[in-house]
Amino acid sequence: MAALALVVAVVLTVQAPGLYVMGLEDYLADPAPEPSLNASLAHLLLSRSPMHARLAHPRLNPALVRETADHFDLGTVVHELVLEGADRICEIAAKDWTTKAAKRSRADARAAGQIPLLTYQLHTVRAMADAIQYQVEDFPEPVPLRNGLAERVLLWQEGAIWCRARLDYLHVDFRTAEDLKTTSESAEPAAWTRNLFDHGHDLQAAFHSRGVQKVCGELPEFRFLVCETKPPYALSLIGLDPMALDFAHQRMRAALDLWAHCHHTGVWPGYPTRPVYAEVPPWIRTRWEERRFLQP
């Protein structure tokens, strides 16, 4: 019951930290009183540059146009079916998007706030949603995506900096949170985690768990529920071990400090302006030495 007390009505701009209900578009537009930092922007800050992060922020770059692509729709629809039970799907009875009629129907659906899917795509997402709901029951307590709140937005402050996160699922005791991921590759834990840090998923775990701690008073275990997009739509439940979590929180703190500095000074630098000298990677050198050794 304590969880429900934190859920408040959404306004376009909020003035206080809290747990909010709002649409995805409102979240992406950034409802905080000042331009806020989230996990994806933190990943850009650290993997690219502040210049890239500023360009990707809707409040700092009013000309920003969010990309819409067909391959994004599958994951979006699966999220809606599994997490919210909402069905904004508009079925387009066509084999592909090549005809003028299919393209026009797709544009009309998007203009109406719907998600256009070809018939075969619709069958796929419904099969995935069913497979997820069935498989989660095999996991131990706390069962993923059970006894909690879906698609909630956290807004909080770190010093003078505003932060935001959109949680896929938060359990009512605030001790566990999950993010539903879909992958066209393998969801086998060892395979999926190879690129976890490259994709900034560690920063997502750090930001989202920190937001719950600041707003709800509990530091939750953050887990990724990863589903393959091909039959049998196998699931994995993946968290970060203590050393990985510590590393993620170090990176989050570095991103917060960098964002605060750029926000305060108004300077958003790009890549280094001094010469940078490339080194030979160890595996390249080893491969070359083996080749030299084998030459007659």
> Taking the domains of the chain in order of start, what are their residue ranges?
2-66+145-181+191-216+241-294
Q: What is the rounded average pLDDT for all residues in the chain? A: 90
| Nearest-5° Cα angle at 145, 139 to 146 | 85
Backbone angles phi, psi at 137, to 5 degrees: -65, -15
- Higher pLDDT, residue 144 or 69: 144
| Nearest-5° Cα angle at 84, 206 to 77 | 85
- Residue 5 — very low, low, confident or very high, per pLDDT cuts 50/70/90? very low
Question: Residue range 208-235: average pLDDT?
Answer: 96
Q: Please give the distance of CA 293 from its chain centroid, rounded to a whole number.
A: 47
What pLDDT does 20 receive? 95
Contacts of 244 (CB under 8 A, 6+ apart): 202
- Confidence check: pLDDT of 3 > 80: no
- CA-wise closest residue to 229 among 121, 83, 106: 121
Bridge-based pairing state of the strands 221-228 and 235-238: antiparallel
CATH fold of 2-66+145-181+191-216+241-294 reads: Lambda Exonuclease; Chain A (3.90.320)
Distance in angstroms (rounded) separating the CA atoms of residues 195 and 39: 16
What pLDDT does 88 receive? 78
Contact assessment for residue 191 and residue 93, using Cβ atoms and an 8 Å cutoff: no
Per-residue pLDDT tens over the stretch 93-132:
998 899 999 999 999 988 888 888 889 888 888 999 999 9
Question: Residue range 69-80: average pLDDT?
Answer: 73
